Amino acid sequence: MGEVSTAGSGAGSGVGARVRRKEDDRLLRGRGRFVGDIALVGMKELAFVRSPVAHATITGIEIPEEHRGAVFTWADLAAGGVKPIRAVSGLPGFKVSEQPALADGKVRFVGEPVAVCVAATRAEAEDIAASVFVDYAELPVNSDMLEAVTPGAPKVHDHWPDNVFLETNVGGNIAEIAATAPVKVSRTIRTARQCMVPLEGKGVVAHWDRHVEQLVLTTSTQMPHIVRAGLSECLDLDQGLIRVVAPDVGGGFGWKGLLQPEEIVAAWIAMRLDRPVRWTEDRREHLVAAANAREHHYEITAYADARGRLLGIEADAWVDAGAYSVYPFSACLEAAQVGSILPGPYDFAHYRCRTFSVCTNKPPIVPYRGVARTGVCFAMEQMIDAVADAVGREPWQVRLENLVPPEKMPFDNVTRKHFDSGDYPESVRRAVAAIELEGWRARQKAGEPDGRLIGVGFATYCEQSAHGTAVYHGWGIPMVPGHEQAQARITPDGGLELRVGVQSHGQSMETTFAQVAHEVLGIPLEKIKLVHGDTGLTPYSTGTWGSRSMVMAGGAVATACRTLAERLRKIGAHLMQAGPDGAVLEGGSVKAGAAAVTIREIAHTWYRAPQLLPADVDRGGLEVTAGYKPGSDHGTFSYATHAVAVAVDPEIGQVEILDYVVVEDAGTMVNPMVVDGQIYGGVAQGVGTALYERMPYDAEGQPLASTFADYLIPGFTEVPHVRIIHMLTPSPYTEFGVKGIGEGGAIAPPAAICNAINDALKPLGVIVTNAPMTPEVILSAIAGKRGAA
């Protein structure tokens, strides 16, 4: 994969340089240290007894005599003072769920942990789990969100009046437009429930460290500080008694952005048995018990004028939030976000959207790379194409008609989202040129010798990232990001240690934060060390989510380094007996005229020859903790247009991607290679959402896939060669003008591919509106038409 990247000189190693990743030497040689690599003396392994049914009362748990003491249930945890997970949203009307780490008399989804078994090996722990007999009195099941909201549906939480965590209503001024708009198109659109399938599953090792009298939880997480906060609440243990460490983490995508019941259980068992214990999620557990992202349903109508200019959008949206509210993001983030971001990058005036976070007998939903945006983009971009079809114009022309133009930036849209910068229409124009639309149109006309149908599709989105205090305060969930902190410390030999509370799990932060620091201080990358993902060693942070780490923690690193730079400059000037005003820090040295003193020499002076320091030296020395927030709590808006050409085989319903172009604007790129990598990975996942990934459930709430034989993800032969074209509009609100881009690649592919498929199917007069667009979906659409004809 990979081709042109227009940005990044490749020169130097500061901001903008395409330098190789520092972490690769370790990771690519298989020398990383993941939870699965940890060996502690006397460590035991855990296996969970999980519910085989979606909804039931537990009427008994029988533990064979010989395994007493090796099996624990909620009764044990509750007696030990453990509290259920409560992830409450402050949004009015939110209904609270309580999720005990092990089922408390009732199970609400297949895979819910019921008991935990401890043994020397995982296989033996599974043997014990197989011997535990749980009596389930089955209850009626909510397996589909639309049925769950009908009157008389069985209730997931008995004391609730219905199965809706939260309903939101946004906008409303739509009636008049609805009555008068020349063009009106409606669609029913759906995205499937997905698993996130990081390469490394979830895993956790817990032990009590006698030396410091702390519970140490080494866990595969994106947010160690938040896990600590949640653990403290559930275990009723002071935060000072808990240290959460993230070792190497092999991908997260959101699945590792929450407090998990298994973490609570492992922590409690380690304390109870006074022994290290480990749980590693296996692939089957992941597929069954962690099928938890993306499931949206839309009833949506677009109103437009005869040119295709949007007049309004009206929608009802349902999100299947599963059985419980997850800590810290809650059960309603996804649906509530739908209401606020459905308008996409477009400028129109009238909007109404109702959303429902529906509670069902499925695993809790978790924000997955792109969060609600992938579904929203899928819905909105289909509407743009539908409008284009209705008015007889090319879809890209209708996009140009409606996108916020550059002269209106910064721009507040219909839901008060503050778009910071960029030229959205230009991304479309470049995508049209790069995909060579004219050529495909000609080929379409000529027809393919093998009978396949060619289609081209576009999708444009903008992605809010690095959401700030005001935005999260608005959600009222357990986590609100404030000023992000970074610590920068010059070592006695003139190197630099950076400490940040975010956690790199594939984002290349060991390299990119070093580049930021290098840009400010000039210290070579190899002498810069990043310490991250450890509550014992780093400042508090809400962690890595929302494409925020470079904007927030990168900004904090730059801020801390600037303060250090000033202190270095003053000491350096003193050592050269120059006035502070004439001295500059440049290329790792403080210079005054022809004289120069290196950071190494200054560090030596501070640590080992302090007698040489000026009398008025800053007593903080060569160590700084600095906080940072961008100029706007709305964060940054990166954006992109994806263009894709496909060939659809109408006889067997298969789709081949022939070309894929991404034109995107990440603002200033700290490392263009890393940005490209994030986009490639995101597009691969987006192709999965578009064409392959679906966790099917039957009416009893049974997940019908439990291995990769049934849950298909794209492999290297299915992921297209992606051509990336960068636009560079710096954000006015951030350090260096960077924008968050970690998620963007995964947002647009389902929409672009759907539009391409529908373009291809046009001669047959059918459309598909549900993801994934499997052969079955495509053939059913075609068969429906044949049947009707």
Partner 1 sequence: MKAVDFDYAQPATLDAALELLSREDVMVRPVAGSQSLGPMLNLRLAQPELLVDITRIAELRTIRREGDRLVIGACVTHARLEDGDYPDVTRGVLPSVAAVIAYRAVRNRGTIGGSLAHADPAADWVNVLTALGADVVIAGTGGRRSVPMTDFILGVFETALQPGEIVAEIHVPALSDRARWGYYKVCRKTGEFSHATGAVLIDPARGVQRCVAGATSGKPVVIDGPALFAGGCTEAAMAAHLAGSPAADDPIALRTHTVALKRAIAQVMS
Binding site for partner 1 (CB under 8 A): 121-123, 126-127, 130, 282, 284, 651-654, 692, 706-707, 709, 712, 714-715, 717-718, 774-776, 779-780, 783
Q: Which is nearer to partner 1, 328 or 714 (CB)?
A: 714
Across 172-246, where does the E strand assignment appear? 183-191, 203-209, 214-219, 242-245
- For 6, counting Cβ atoms within 10 Å of its Cβ (0-12 exposed, 13-18 middle, 19+ buried), the class is exposed
**Residues in the chain, how many?**
789
Q: Which is nearer to partner 1, 122 or 429 (CB)?
A: 122
Cβ count within 10 A of residue 199: 8
Distance separating alpha carbons of residues 268 and 246, to the nearest angstrom: 18
Instruction: Identify the helix (H) or strand (E) that includes residue 165.
Output: strand 164-171
Q: Which is nearer to partner 1, 404 or 766 (CB)?
A: 766
CB 648 within 8 A of CB 654: yes
**Least distance CB 646 / partner 1 (angstroms):** 15
The structure tokens 């060693």 sit at 537
Phi, psi of 463 (to 5 degrees): -125, 115
**Least distance CB 450 / partner 1 (angstroms):** 10
**Least distance CB 123 / partner 1 (angstroms):** 4
Across 673-760, where does the E strand assignment appear? 722-727
The tokens describing 581, both together, are: 């005003």
Q: Which is nearer to partner 1, 27 or 712 (CB)?
A: 712
Q: Which is nearer to partner 1, 119 or 372 (CB)?
A: 119
**Least distance CB 751 / partner 1 (angstroms):** 21
**Which residues lie below 8 Å from residue 609, measured CB to CB, with a gap of 6+?**
none
Cβ count within 10 A of residue 178: 15
**Least distance CB 782 / partner 1 (angstroms):** 9
The tokens describing 286, both together, are: 């992941």
**Least distance CB 780 / partner 1 (angstroms):** 6
CB 324 within 8 A of CB 99: yes
**Least distance CB 48 / partner 1 (angstroms):** 11
Q: Which is nearer to partner 1, 282 or 394 (CB)?
A: 282
| Cis preceding-peptide flag for 425 (omega within 30 of 0) | no
Of 562, 552, 556, residue with least CA distance to 632: 552
**Least distance CB 125 / partner 1 (angstroms):** 9
In sequence order, which ranges of 462-598 are alpha helices (DSSP H)? 469-475, 509-521, 549, 555-575
Distance separating alpha carbons of residues 392 and 191, to the nearest angstrom: 27
Of 136, 160, 157, 132, residue with least CA distance to 57: 136
Distance separating alpha carbons of residues 440 and 442, to the nearest angstrom: 5
CB 290 within 8 A of CB 196: yes
Q: Which is nearer to partner 1, 83 or 122 (CB)?
A: 122
**Least distance CB 492 / partner 1 (angstroms):** 49
The tokens describing 547, both together, are: 């494409």
Q: Which is nearer to partner 1, 138 or 651 (CB)?
A: 651
Q: Which is nearer to partner 1, 133 or 137 (CB)?
A: 133
Q: Are strands 214-219 and 453-465 parallel, antiparallel or unpaired?
A: unpaired
3-state secondary structure at position 76: helix
**Least distance CB 134 / partner 1 (angstroms):** 17
Q: Which is nearer to partner 1, 65 or 450 (CB)?
A: 450
**Least distance CB 707 / partner 1 (angstroms):** 7
Q: Are strands 595-598 and 623-628 parallel, antiparallel or unpaired?
A: unpaired
Q: Which is nearer to partner 1, 122 or 190 (CB)?
A: 122
**304 pairs with which residues across the strands?**
183, 310
Q: Which residues of 301-314 are buried (b: 16+ CB within 10 A; e: fewer)?
A: bbbbeeebbbbbbb
Q: Which is nearer to partner 1, 97 or 769 (CB)?
A: 769
Q: Which is nearer to partner 1, 37 or 776 (CB)?
A: 776
Distance separating alpha carbons of residues 236 and 77, to the nearest angstrom: 12
**Least distance CB 113 / partner 1 (angstroms):** 15
Distance separating alpha carbons of residues 188 and 449, to the nearest angstrom: 34
**Least distance CB 36 / partner 1 (angstroms):** 13
Cα–Cα distances (Å) from 55 to 52, 162, 356, 629, 715, in that order, read: 9, 16, 21, 45, 35
Q: Which residues of 365-398 are buried (b: 16+ CB within 10 A; e: fewer)?
A: bbbbbbbbbbbbbbbbbbbbbbbbbbbebbbbeb
Q: Which is nearer to partner 1, 10 or 451 (CB)?
A: 451
**Least distance CB 121 / partner 1 (angstroms):** 8
The tokens describing 51, both together, are: 């519910």
Q: Which is nearer to partner 1, 565 or 695 (CB)?
A: 695
**Least distance CB 674 / partner 1 (angstroms):** 28
**Least distance CB 718 / partner 1 (angstroms):** 5
Q: Which is nearer to partner 1, 125 or 300 (CB)?
A: 125
